[in-house]
Amino acid sequence: MKEKNWGQESDPDYQSTELPKKERGPSHRIERADVLKARNFLVETYQNQVKKGGQVTAEMAKTNLDHADRVAENARWIAQNEGLDIEMLELAATCHDCGKLKCGYRGGIDTFRHHITGAKMIYDFLQRLGKTPKVCDEVKNMVLAHSAIPFIKRWADDNEIGLPEPLTQEEFALRDADVLDQIDIWGFKKVVEIRQNHDSEFYEEDGGDIQKSIESALLTAQEAEKILRTETAKKIAAGYGKRLVRLLRKIQAPKVVDLKTWQESFQEFLDEEAKNRHQ
C-alpha cells in the first residue's frame, strides 16, 4: 500500500494555509482566524505607539484594548441576533479604534480623526491578509462611519468638517456596538477617567471636577442610547443602563470628591455586586 504523505502537497487531503496568495486567490470572507489576527494587529499597533516613548502609555493601551474587546463582544451579540456576518462585525469592532492612540496628539489620543486613519489601516491590513477589495471596502466603511456620534458631530459641525454617517446595516451595527460601551459601566469609567486626565482635551470642560466628569459621562451615555439602531443593541442597552443606575447611586456625592475616591467607590460597587451574586 502506498504510504500517505501526511502534510505533503502530494497528500490529496493536504490543505496549507501557507500557500502563496496568488495560488489561493483572494478570500471573499472574514474567517475566525482573521479575527484573532486582527486582535494581534491591534495589540502591535498600540504597543508601537507606547514604544515611541511619547504620550501613549501602557495603561492607555490596556484601557483601549479592553474597550475593543467589549465592543467586539457587543458586536458578536448584535451580529448573531440581527443575522449579520459575525466574523466581519467582530473584526471591525476589534479594530475600530486602531487609529486612536497616536503620539504627537494631545494626551496621545486622536479623538476626532481616528476613524479616517483607522479605516485606511484596516483596509491595508485586510489587503495583506489577501481579502477581496469588496471585503476590504466593507470593513473600511464600517470603521469610517463609527465616529458619527453626537459629541464628535458637534465638533465636526463647529469646524465645518464632514463626518461619514453609517448607511448599511453593518455600519449601524458597528456604531451600536461601540456606543453601547458608553452605557456599560466599564466604558463609563473610561470616559470619566479620560476627562480627569490633565493631558486630555476634555479636561478643561469639567475643570478637573470629578462630579462634572461623571455628569459629562452620563450625558454621553444618554446620547449613546438615543442613536442606537438595532433592536438587539437596544435590549443590551437596557441591561447596561440598569447596572449603570446602580453604580450612579453608589457613587453619589459627597463621597466621591476626586479620581481616587471615584476609583475606590467603583471598586466597592464591584465588590458588592460580587458579594450579592454569591448570596
- Kindly tell me which of 143 and 192 has the beta carbon lying closer to Fe ion: 143
Q: Please give the size of the binding site for Fe ion, defined by CB under 5 A.
A: 1
Give the x/- contact pattern for Fe ion in 151-170, rule: CB under 5 A: --------------------
Q: Nearest approach, Cβ of 270 to Fe ion (angstroms)?
A: 25
Cis before 254 (ω within 30): yes
Q: In this chain, which residue has its C-beta nearest to Fe ion?
A: 97
- Kindly tell me which of 90 and 97 has the beta carbon lying closer to Fe ion: 97
- Measured from the Cβ of residue 163, the count of other Cβ atoms closer than 10 Å reads 17
- Kindly tell me which of 180 and 256 has the beta carbon lying closer to Fe ion: 180
- Kindly tell me which of 97 and 138 has the beta carbon lying closer to Fe ion: 97
Grid cell, residue 63, equals: 484601557
Which of 165, 161, 163, 149 lies closest to 224 in space, CA to CA? 149
Q: Nearest approach, Cβ of 189 to Fe ion (angstroms)?
A: 17
Q: Nearest approach, Cβ of 266 to Fe ion (angstroms)?
A: 23
Q: Nearest approach, Cβ of 268 to Fe ion (angstroms)?
A: 30
Q: Nearest approach, Cβ of 94 to Fe ion (angstroms)?
A: 12
Q: Nearest approach, Cβ of 178 to Fe ion (angstroms)?
A: 6
- Kindly tell me which of 174 and 210 has the beta carbon lying closer to Fe ion: 174
- Kindly tell me which of 173 and 210 has the beta carbon lying closer to Fe ion: 173
Ranges within 69-128 binding Fe ion (CB under 5 A): 97
What is the DSSP secondary-structure string of the chain? -PPP-TTSTTSTT---S-S-HHHH--BSS--HHHHHHHHHHHHHHHHHHHHTTSS--HHHHHHHHHHHHHHHHHHHHHHHHHT--HHHHHHHHHHTTTTTB-TTSGGGB-TTTHHHHHHHHHHHHHHHTTB-HHHHHHHHHHHHTTT-SHHHHHHHHHTT---PPP-SHHHHHHHHHHHHTTTSHHHHHHHHHHHT-TTSTTHHHHTT-HHHHHHHHHHHHHHHHHH--SHHHHHHHHHHHHHHHHHHHHT-TTT--SHHHHHHHHHHHHHHHHHHHT-
Which of 104, 129, 32, 105 lies closest to 121 in space, CA to CA? 129
Q: Nearest approach, Cβ of 168 to Fe ion (angstroms)?
A: 18
- Kindly tell me which of 79 and 109 has the beta carbon lying closer to Fe ion: 109
176 binds Fe ion, rule: CB under 5 A: no
Contact residues toward Fe ion (CB under 5 A) are 97
